[in-house]
Amino acid sequence: MSSLPVHKTVLFDEKQTPLSRIQLNKRLKLLDEKDAADLLKIEQLLHWSHIKRDLNPSFVNETIVSINAINNEFIKNIITWRLELRIILAALRMRHQGQKTAPDKGIFGFDYWYFIMTKYWHEPDLGLSKQLPWLPEVNALLTTNQSRDLEKYLFGVVWDHYRQLSLGHYFNFEAVIIYVLRWDIIYRWTRYNKEIAVQRFNDLIDTELQNKLLW
């Protein structure tokens, strides 16, 4: 961890990843075999690029099986939280698309979410705003079709959750997990945001031109 440049507190202050993926992978080679395997499993489940918009019972069940096979409670909880987030977002999208009743139980994966969302399906917040204070804003952005603002808001929700989880973890394996997951969010955000992407492209062009002039 001491070899990794720190992340900024606010995601949207980041203009580019603090180091390249190549450099990050070089540092991750310091992990022992078990930790490296666990990190790979987490990345396969949670990296933004691997997350599909839609859910189905098969995917949910497979993810829950993977979660149950993990012995580390920290890892298990972080994957569970992201799966629950996806389930709630999928439910909101289904309702927005006109579904009048909650879908089959298999899509939820967890009895708790199925019970709550079935009971409060027609409530804007699905009856979950006390547990999930970000949910009303997500629903408002979704129902008004502000897809770009919704995506940005979700980036922020996940970023803040990871930042909270990082407290108390500074030089252990859990800290490495959080670092890599936050790196991925920065990577996705800076490529999703057109203004940042254009600025980054211009910076690269300027750097290349300067290098040629130096030679």
List the domain boundaries for the chain: 11-214
- Percent with pLDDT over 70 in the chain: 84
Q: Give residue 215's pLDDT.
A: 40
Confidence at 208, pLDDT banded by 50, 70, 90: very low
Least confident range from 17-21, 108-112, 193-197: namely 193-197
More confident residue, 198 or 90: 90
Q: Give residue 212's pLDDT.
A: 39
Residue 203 has pLDDT above 70, yes or no: no
Per residue in 10-55, pLDDT (tens digit) is 888 888 888 999 999 999 999 999 888 888 888 877 765 555 555 6
More confident residue, 121 or 52: 121
Per the prediction, the chain carries an average pLDDT of 81
d(Cα 28, Cα 173) in Å, to the nearest integer?
11
Q: Give residue 213's pLDDT.
A: 39
Residue 201 has pLDDT above 90, yes or no: no
Which two three-digit tokens encode residue 140? 């408002």
Tell if the pTM clears 0.75, that is, is over it: yes
d(Cα 108, Cα 88) in Å, to the nearest integer?
8
Confidence at 211, pLDDT banded by 50, 70, 90: very low
Q: Give residue 10's pLDDT.
A: 86
d(Cα 62, Cα 213) in Å, to the nearest integer?
54
